[in-house]
Amino acid sequence: MVAAIEVRDARVGDAGALVALWRELTTAGLPSRLPAPPSTAAAEVAVSKHVDDPFGRLLVGELDGDIHGMAYLRKTAVSPLHDDTTVTVEYLHVSDTARRHGLGKALIAEAVTWAEHESCAHLAVVAPAIAREANRFLARLGLGQAGVLRFANTHTVRRRLAAEHAPNLLALLSSRRSAFARRAQLSGTVGGSVGGTVGGAVVSSPAEPESAGK
């Protein structure tokens, strides 16, 4: 008997199943730096934010009525130098017990359909470099490797930079952090502009970019 497959947008009531899938992602035997599974309550809040997001979709894949797969789709520019957009598939995961039934293909098919609907000419899928089975699956669908995504806690990277004993770099990091703090203090008007008054009228000008004069 052929299993019934359905791919749909996640609902708040799916939070518990999504947390279970995330737990599988972080304990699948592969080296992982992903955040620990959230509470169901926290996941419910997060899922609710994706319901009306025009640039992102959180998908679930059902097999015979039970959730066994997930994927997060994001629509973004293909690069900072191009007008073309791409749909990126992240956190693609299917439970071990539900594999080889076509659920992974169904999730990718939904991503392709959305990309076509949004006139995105490209599709990208994030997968662990050492996940051989997942990468073979994606390669069969015509997806080639374009890079390696690395993930770390911000504090960890700063600590490692400090360990390199590069005074100029550390001074730059400190100055950038101070600049961001000053910018936050000055962003009291709409759009982060700096304003004043002339003759009782409010006059505002855009805040200077952080890169100005660099």
Average pLDDT over residues 109-127: 95
d(CA 122, CA 84): 8
pLDDT of residue 150: 84
Radius of gyration of the CA atoms of the chain, in A: 22
Topology classification of domain 5-157: Aminopeptidase (3.40.630)
Question: What are the residue ranges spanned by the domains of the chain?
Answer: 5-157
Q: Could you read off the pLDDT of 151-195 as tens digits, one per residue?
A: 888 888 888 877 766 666 666 667 777 777 778 878 764 444 444
Query: Residues 58, 72: contact at Cβ < 8 Å?
Result: yes
Average pLDDT over residues 201-208: 38
Name the pTM for this structure: 0.74
Residues 209, 210, 213, 214, Cα dihedral to 10° = -140
pLDDT of residue 202: 35
Q: What are phi and psi of 98, to 5 degrees?
A: -115, 10
